[in-house]
Amino acid sequence: MKKLFIVPAFLLFLFACSGTKEENKENASASNLNYFGDTISADGAIASNQLLSQLAGKDSASLKVEGKISSVCQKKGCWMELDLGSGKTMRVTFKDYKFFVPKDASGKTAIVDGMVYNDTLSVDDQKHYAEDAGKSNEEIAQITQPKPEISFEARGVIIKNE
């Protein structure tokens, strides 16, 4: 007699936990995204090749940008570079050094939300980043001048699993 009650209870449990097809699709879609730092959404993100026109005439701007990751710090994932097109990249660091991204994220699409600004990278910082990227001693020794660049401090990052 106990078995008669256990089977229907088990089936009811399975049915209750299964969710609808729409919920399952949403969960599958969400699992293709990895979040780092503050939880952000993709809404309102501009394409990375539009960033320079958005920054034109300004020292900085608060933006949400989507683009391909071209490289990641190989020591601990403490910075990454996004491809801006036309052979240009933008270094992305993470607000207050509170989070990192996976070291194998190169080639994936990312959405970053934060502050973009015109910057000048010192020789020491360039050498530090070159070491993090695994550059040779010869390549590092060739760094002798400060370098103007576009930098981005992200408060949150989404990386798409493609």
What fold, for 34-160?
OB fold (Dihydrolipoamide Acetyltransferase, E2P) (2.40.50)
HSE toward the beta carbon, residue 78, CA cutoff 13 A: 11
Show pLDDT as tens, one digit a residue, over the chain (162 residues).
545 444 444 443 334 444 433 333 344 345 799 999 999 999 999 999 999 998 889 999 999 999 999 999 998 999 999 999 989 999 999 999 999 999 999 999 999 999 999 999 999 999 998 988 888 999 999 999 999 999 999 999 999 987
Helix (H) or strand (E) holding 147: strand 147-160
**In 31-122, alpha helices (H):** 51-55
Question: Which pLDDT score is estimated for 27?
Answer: 41
Residue 25 to residue 37: CA distance in whole angstroms: 25
Question: Which pLDDT score is estimated for 30?
Answer: 52
pTM, two decimal places: 0.76
Dihedral (C-alpha) 105, 70, 117, 132: value to the nearest 10 degrees? 70
Q: Is the dihedral of CA 107, 112, 118, 121 positive or negative?
A: negative
Question: Which pLDDT score is estimated for 150?
Answer: 92
Domain residue spans in the chain? Answer: 34-160
DSSP 38: S
